[in-house]
Structure 1
Amino acid sequence: MAVRRVGVVLTAVGVAAALALTGCSSTTESTADSAAPYHQQQSGQDDVAAAPEAGGGPGAGQPAAGAPVRFRIDERAIIYTGSITVRVDDVERAAGRATAIATGAGGFVGVDKRTSDDRRSTASLELRIPANRFGQVVDDLARLGDQEQRDISTQDVTEEALDLDARLASQRARVESGRQLLARATNLTELVMLESELAKREADLASLEAKKRRLDDLTALSTITLVLLGPEAERDGEELGFVQGLKGGWEMFVTSLLVLLTIVGALLPWLIVLGLPVAALVWLLRRRNRRPPVEPATVTAPPRS
């Protein structure tokens, strides 16, 4: 019995050592083999590596060891976001034209919120546009009416994308090595340990792939928030000074009045049920107190003879 237990322990130790060695070797090899082609694909085709200094010499044309790799603008992973506010004569018609501009550029409308109030109508549209058409679409939207506000921002995620690609390649290699070890399992103990380890590696891989899809979506499709205002519509925070104070004070007055009426309405049934008997009792007591007091009878002495 003791020999069998020792055998199980040795088997478990051997499987753990094999997993560790396989994971380390696959991580090193896959990182080196997968990261290099990506850099070559990004930098080797269009001379994106840093240009050598004048003078040449051995190794000229190659970046120095440890030197950062530079990429052209059109090869970087950049997230574009923007917002634009335009005042138009007809909000509904302008919203339809904005939708046509977005779909014509290969994008779509993600969010569409509108309010109808004649000349005070407003609309807020979130447009997803291909990154290479971002600038042109923003200019087309500005021409829908009178542009009142524009805010454009960018986020460079090139390094994050490179790191994520390398981690994905490494994790895929670890999953494949785990599957190979699982196929060669010879007993139940190895099978259980390898299945648990493989499930963990596959879960990590799925998480990395989800992050990659999200990043690809953000870099491939830019986000533009378009706000359309009718001729007399007001922007958020536009009212200032006396008008804003008067409006705020009136709203507070109406709110306070509604609260007061609500309280009176809640107390009215109690006033009717309890107040009427109390009022009747008070009235009776007051009426009783107002009765004239009864004067005692006086006895007159008979006249003396």
Structure 2
Amino acid sequence: MSQGTHVGRRRAAAVLTAIVIVGLSAGCGAGSSKSASSSAARAAGPAGVGNSGGGASGDSAPNQAAAPSAGQNSLAKAPVAGRSIVYSATMTVRTKDVTAATANAETLAESNGGFVGGENSQSGTVPDVQGLTQSTVTLRVPSAAFEKVIGQLGTGGVVQDETRSASDVTAQVVDTGTRITAQQASIARITDLMKSATNLSDVVTLEGELSRRESDLESMQAQLAALNDQVSLSTITVTFLVPQATAPAATPTPKHQNAFQRGLHDGWQAFMGTVKVLLVIIGVLLPFAALAAVLWWPVTRSARVVARRRACLLY
């Protein structure tokens, strides 16, 4: 066996050993990220992990109130440093002018540094009401303006129902950021190995590993960016409806009656029912009676004339 073959085998073994070492390092990094995320979940205020592709991960946001007052469903306005919290709310507001309320909600979001994420409007669904009768608007507003925007959305009508929620995603943000850091270090090591590789098969193997790790890195960066977007911008979905129609007046409950009064009442009702039936029958027969009366006179007149003629013939 030639010396060149031995050298090629040694290079291939060295490259494979380096790839295994890099993989183990990435695995250790992922394991440490899980440990860090667990520690972050238990800690009072862990610092966010920054990265070049996902943005800051330690955005401050208000936390959920421990004991809201009676008749309210509010969240605490004081931010908790180092926590990543996702806020969302849904509202239903009854208003006389759905079109104006929808335009006001959109203006309110934009004036507070947010935007309109979606809108769905309907018209003509309520009798005798022109224009929009229902509109659902999804607003994305900064978390700092979450309480302010919700408070102003209900000023133009009556809030029928309201639901708020707060989800702490600090552990996910820290875990994803740590995994990104470990993956970036792994990519850097493979890039260094490619610079020193001279065999074509080694270069191809390293390029495949580099492509796979870069794809994983982009996926994790997208996850972190989505989390940061949810933390920095809260979601408020508000539905505007026209006021409900006035309910018909309830039928008064009859007063207590004794047996005689109930019998008299039932008898009168039966008598009136019989009279109504007789009137209906008379109304049905009256046209036929009129027709019979009109035809009866000429028929009887003709019969009398015939009888007289027969009598004259006999005499």
Shorter-chain TM band: 0.5 to 0.7
The amino acid that maps onto 1:10 is R
Instruction: State the alpha-carbon separation in 1 of the partners of residues 245 and 171 from structure 2.
Output: 44
SS in 1 for 2:120: strand
The Cα of 1:73 is off from its aligned counterpart by 2.0
Structure 2 vs 1, CA of residues 109 and 73 (structure 1 numbering), >3 Å: closer, same or farther?
same
Instruction: State the alpha-carbon separation in 2 of the partners of residues 2 and 148 from structure 1.
Output: 87
Match of 2:214 among 183, 202, 205: 202
The Cα of 1:214 is off from its aligned counterpart by 0.8
The amino acid that maps onto 1:114 is S
Alignment of 1:233-252 (within 5 A): none
**Match for residue 21 of structure 1?**
21
Match of 1:189 among 201, 211, 214: 201
User: What do the CA deviations read for 1:140-187 (whole angstroms, capped 9, x no partner)?
Assistant: 112121000000011110011111111010001111111111111111
Match of 1:115 among 110, 115, 122: 122
Structure 2 vs 1, CA of residues 166 and 124 (structure 1 numbering), >3 Å: closer, same or farther?
same
**Match for residue 94 of structure 2?**
87
- Partners of 1:8 and 1:189 within 8 A in 2: no
Q: TM-score, normalised by structure 1?
A: 0.60
The amino acid that maps onto 1:75 is G
Instruction: State the alpha-carbon separation in 2 of the partners of residues 42 and 207 from structure 1.
Output: 19
The Cα of 1:27 is off from its aligned counterpart by 6.5
The amino acid that maps onto 2:209 is E
- Partners of 1:23 and 1:177 within 8 A in 2: no
Alignment of 1:16-55 (within 5 A): 16-25=16-25, 41=47
Alignment of 1:70-219 (within 5 A): 73-117=80-124, 118=129, 121-219=133-231
Extract unaligned runs of 5+ from structure 2: 50-78, 247-315
The Cα of 1:8 is off from its aligned counterpart by 3.8
- Partners of 1:27 and 1:174 within 8 A in 2: no
The amino acid that maps onto 1:80 is Y
Q: TM-score, normalised by structure 2?
A: 0.58
* 1:220 aligned onto 2:220: no
**Match for residue 12 of structure 1?**
12
Structure 2 vs 1, CA of residues 131 and 230 (structure 1 numbering), >3 Å: closer, same or farther?
same
Structure 2 vs 1, CA of residues 233 and 24 (structure 1 numbering), >3 Å: closer, same or farther?
farther
- Partners of 1:124 and 1:226 within 8 A in 2: yes
- Across the aligned residues of Structure 1 and Structure 2, the Cα RMSD in angstroms comes to 2.9
The count of corresponding residues between Structure 1 and Structure 2 is 203
The Cα of 1:75 is off from its aligned counterpart by 2.4
The amino acid that maps onto 1:15 is V
The amino acid that maps onto 1:207 is S
Instruction: State the alpha-carbon separation in 1 of the partners of residues 238 and 245 from structure 2.
Output: 15
- Partners of 1:27 and 1:171 within 8 A in 2: no
- Partners of 2:89 and 2:162 within 8 A in 1: yes
User: What do the CA deviations read for 1:249-286 (whole angstroms, capped 9, x no partner)?
Assistant: xxxxxxxxxxxxxxxxxxxxxxxxxxxxxxxxxxxxxx
Name the stretch that deviates more: 12-21 or 186-195: 12-21
How high is the sequence identity, in percent, across the aligned residues? Answer: 32
Instruction: State the alpha-carbon separation in 2 of the partners of residues 88 and 146 from structure 1.
Output: 7
Instruction: State the alpha-carbon separation in 1 of the partners of residues 121 and 29 from structure 2.
Output: 55
- Partners of 2:180 and 2:221 within 8 A in 1: yes
The Cα of 1:9 is off from its aligned counterpart by 3.8
Instruction: State the alpha-carbon separation in 2 of the partners of residues 18 and 11 from structure 1.
Output: 10
The Cα of 1:232 is off from its aligned counterpart by 3.8
The amino acid that maps onto 2:17 is A
Structure with greater Cα Rg:
2
Structure 2 vs 1, CA of residues 160 and 82 (structure 1 numbering), >3 Å: closer, same or farther?
same
- Partners of 2:194 and 2:206 within 8 A in 1: yes
SS in 1 for 2:198: coil
